[in-house]
Structure 1
Amino acid sequence: MLSIVICEDNENQRKEITKCIEDSIMIENLDMEIVLSTENPENTIEYLNNNEISGLYFLDVDLNSDVNGIKLAEVIREYDPRGFIVFVTTHAEMSYLTFIYKVEAMDYIIKDKPESVKERIHECILNAHKKYSSKATEMQKNLTIKAEDKIINIEYNKILFFETSNIIHKVILHAVDRQIEFYAKMKDIEDKLDDRFYRCHRSFLVNKDNIKEIDKNNRVLYMTNGQECLVATRLLKGLLK
């Protein structure tokens, strides 16, 4: 999932940018969310220090702080080299600094026309989502699913297991950082995946790379996060191989 961070010291403008982003995510049904909206660049640095994210960052240049937006972008690059940085500012004359500091900004939006700003922010969100999905595909395999009108891309290596839901025709995907319930057939999912996934039970399809322990006597799998999956007797031998 692509996380969004906003750093803007003007409260009213921060609220407008936040509302614009939320509307774009809702309208386009994107698998994105705002994880931080703040006036203080130090809060952004602290968040990045404590969380590993793939981010889209909307930054003002003048933050009334010892750390301006350009310098903040330079710090962001240290934590998130592949992140997308967008400046939303009144300081057109400072755009050249993005080249000096080599922050590789996606866009530099000037706050002169509110409607133009909204349109540019919307375009940046769509562009970042497209590039993020493309990069993820290049770097590693992803599973694409549709859940609650959202198209979600999730990396294979983050998937722990799939479990049949109590709701008919639904499956629950258990990942390292989220849980998603969606309409699907377990067999159809199994056919899409590669050899790292194994159907160990009629109700469970597991990622073998994320198995921590196998209890052969009780026919139970323990995943890396401590969750348990059942193993059918006739399928235990194939799993152990």
Structure 2
Amino acid sequence: MFPIYLLEDNQEQRNTYAQVINDTIMINELPMQLVCQTDSPNALLEAMAHNYQGLFFLDMEIENQKDAGLQTAITIRKQIPAAHIVFITTHGELSFLTLERKVAPLDYILKDYGSDHIKTNIREDILKTNDLVKSGKYKKENLFTYHIGPRYFSLPISEIVYLNTSKFNPGRVQLHALKKESEFIDNLNELEKKYPMFFRSDKSYLVNLDLLDHFDSQKREIHFINGSVAYVSVRKARELVKLLK
């Protein structure tokens, strides 16, 4: 069963959200379960220990601590890079912090819009998460994970276009994805071992051939569906032609 967690310090609201979650699961016969409903961030974190997936509905303010839910989300993201996180809050002004802290929530539900709005969004977020889980897009083995300092990030391998060593920052790798670019400390040799689905086109490039648009054999350039380009060594060009044939 795919676990769902609920953090809300208002007991009446917590009971209402839990009922919506359970009803949505039952009506749609989803392989999900509400495994924790609590007003304690620590209790929630203990409940999710040793898990690698989950949908989390988090109140932003807990017991007058305005960003308690955000701090909990940061911890969740470190332990479960592929976690689906939804904030339910009165603090719309804090939404930018979720971007600044790289939490990347699935949804940000404002309580000010009323009970019906909250219930509708909870239902939609559960169904959306179920669709993602069914597609396999966010399974642990299909994720690329990296970290920048103490912050951990992940994205589907299917969205990565290529990785290359940084020309100006030795010891760092640049990530080029369909909707994201980043740079982090690592090396391509280790990444090639960890993610064998990528093709080593050159000593400086690991590429995702699933996103290839065409290969210019004269210029030894791989052109991707998003318009970006990676280079291929002479030896690897022969190997790539064989693969494409």
- Alignment-mate amino acid for residue 238 of structure 1: E
CA-CA distance at 1:137 after TM superposition:
3.1
Q: Take 1:214 and 1:82, find their aligned partners in 2: how far apart are those partners?
A: 34
CA-CA distance at 1:79 after TM superposition:
4.2
Does the aligned pair in 2 maintain the 1:173–1:181 contact within 8 Å?
A: yes
Q: Equivalent residue for 1:74?
A: 123
2:186 maps to which of 184, 190, 194: 184
1:137 maps to which of 139, 148, 157: 139
CA-CA distance at 1:215 after TM superposition:
0.8
Whether 2:175 is the aligned partner of 1:173: answer yes
CA-based RMSD: 4.3
Given the two structures, how large is their TM-score scaled by the length of structure 1? 0.55
Runs of 4 or more, structure 1, over 6 Å off, are 2-8, 32-39
3-state SS of 1:205 partner: strand
CA-CA distance at 1:179 after TM superposition:
1.5
CA-CA distance at 1:26 after TM superposition:
4.8
Q: How does 1:5-154 map to 2 (within 5 A)?
A: 19-26=67-74, 30=78, 55=106, 60=111, 63-64=113-114, 67-81=116-130, 136-137=138-139, 140-154=141-155
Q: Take 1:186 and 1:202, find their aligned partners in 2: how far apart are those partners?
A: 8
The 3 A distance-change label for structure 1 pair 20 and 58 is farther
Query: Gaps spanning 5+ residues in structure 2: where?
Result: 1-53, 91-103
Deviation track 1:57-104 (CA, whole Å, cap 9, x = no partner) reads: 6564x8447x44223333444544368xxxxxxxxxxxxxxxxxxxxx
Given the two structures, how large is their TM-score scaled by the length of structure 2? 0.54
Q: Take 1:176 and 1:200, find their aligned partners in 2: how far apart are those partners?
A: 19
- Alignment-mate amino acid for residue 118 of structure 2: G
The 3 A distance-change label for structure 1 pair 220 and 173 is same
- The structure with higher relative contact order (CA 8 Å, sep 6+) is 1
Q: Equivalent residue for 2:159?
A: 158
CA-CA distance at 1:232 after TM superposition:
1.1
Does the aligned pair in 1 maintain the 2:86–2:105 contact within 8 Å?
A: no
Task: State the identity as a percent.
Answer: 21
Does the aligned pair in 2 maintain the 1:197–1:207 contact within 8 Å?
A: yes
Query: Gaps spanning 5+ residues in structure 1: where?
Result: 40-52, 84-130
3-state SS of 1:180 partner: strand
The 3 A distance-change label for structure 1 pair 18 and 219 is farther
3-state SS of 1:190 partner: helix
**Aligned residues between the structures:** 172
3-state SS of 1:81 partner: helix
